[in-house]
A and B are shown apart, each in its own frame.
Chain A
């Protein structure tokens, strides 16, 4: 299979892990058993954002387990909007939604934000429901 090329973010690429550390940090944050995943792809089959993702959700899990920390540069972890479809369907009862959150948290807790509030146009600020802003800020700003 052709290796996927994920564009690098300078700040995120500075985060360094020793072997096994990335998986451990994810597990500590989400409490999920990543090693239980047998790569069936059910999570990816039902994901509403799959067409826009650079890595599929099951690939994300595999990347974490294989110490491929470039997973942190993946667009996938920010596209996940925590709709819980994958978590609901996983035959191994792994809450993938929480794994995506753990990856976002690993970045955000190192003071690297995904969203800059000043970039949101004024007109959009006036019409979009507040629940969208609170959600986005909680997901994309540390």
Chain B
């Protein structure tokens, strides 16, 4: 089955490996992610001022482009894109006056008919493929690897657009169990990684990365799994910088869930693009014997 896919800016730059590994696992599962035409920036953060409709234009335009391509579903990989597109979609579905204003404002685009569903790729894997199906296809179980699921914010809040329970999410732990890994729980799994403060408050973000990771390490975690490209950067890059701030602290590797699925399905490790990470994610996998030593 072909699935229309909205990439967003970061999937084409610092998270190329998230895209490549997702494409590979979609193919392995008998599906194809097809990049939508003419996509633009989603706006990244949803407008939180009631009168600020301008900031809904970018996400709405992309939803219109999905309808223009004759589709009623669009899959995203980036948590921030997914959240922003879902929030705008919800707003215009619930507030017809706002939709009319936005439709009237845009001259070149068709009117939005509110037919689109925005789906995170993780949701697609859980709800349409099923983790039990993935489990059956695992050739290379992640046996003996202790991994902490990290959800961050945008998958879980606000609740109207969440893909799982805001306080007790389990989508990653269910997936990890299906892949044969050991789950290490941690109360910081749903706390913000520091987000865009990585630009103007980078020490604060390093402290956040340390807090989130260190607690997991004390409980025996050897790695972290996540889905958001910004969380990956903050935990991986700013986490590495935290080593200079905290004596004896060593940042553990960060994996996208798509990379772990690709490894467990024994796909070509080249699709994982591990070289885009700061802390080398291949060492642990080699040590545990799930990735061949080369």
Contact = CB atoms under 8 A, between A and B. Distances in A.
A1 B44 CA distance: 40
Given A52-B204, A134-B43, A134-B45, A88 B157 contact: yes
B209 to A, nearest CB: 12
Contacts of B80: 131, 135
B13 interface: yes
Contacts of A31: 50
A82 interface: yes
A87 B158 contact: yes
Interface string A95-122: 0011001100100000000010000100
Contacts of A120: 199-200
B159 interface: yes
B166 A88 contact: yes
Given A29-B50, A97-B48, A138-B45, A131 B8 contact: yes
Interface residues of A, number: 36
A76 B127 CA distance: 39
B49 interface: yes
Contacts of B10: 129-131
Interface residues of B, number: 43
B83 to A, nearest CB: 9
B15 interface: yes
B88 to A, nearest CB: 14
B48 A82 contact: yes
Contacts of B9: 130-131, 134
B195 interface: yes
Contact of B196 (A49, A88, A127, A136): A136
Contacts of A128: 14, 198-199, 233
Interface in A46-93: 48-49, 52, 79, 81-85, 87-88
Contacts of A81: 192, 194-197
B200 A130 contact: no
A140 B200 contact: yes
A52 B199 CA distance: 16
A106 B197 CA distance: 21
Contacts of B204: 49, 52
Nearest to B46: A82
B157 A84 contact: yes
B191 interface: yes
Given A120-B199, A130-B13, A48 B191 contact: yes
Given A84-B153, A127-B14, A132 B48 contact: no
Given A48-B191, A84-B158, A129-B13, A135 B196 contact: yes
A30 B50 CA distance: 6
B233 A102 contact: no
A140 B208 CA distance: 21
Most chain B beta-carbon neighbours within 10 Å: one of A30, A79, A82, A120: A82
B55 interface: yes
Contacts of A132: 195-196, 198-199, 230, 233
Interface in B1-44: 8-10, 13-15, 41, 43-44
Interface of A: 28-31, 48-49, 52, 79, 81-85, 87-88, 97-98, 101-102, 105, 115, 120, 124, 127-136, 138-140
Interface of B: 8-10, 13-15, 41, 43-45, 48-52, 55, 78, 80-81, 153, 157-159, 166-167, 190-192, 194-202, 204, 208, 229-230, 233, 237
Closest 9 CB pairs of A and B: A84-B157, A101-B48, A135-B196, A83-B192, A136-B196, A81-B195, A134-B44, A130-B9, A83-B153
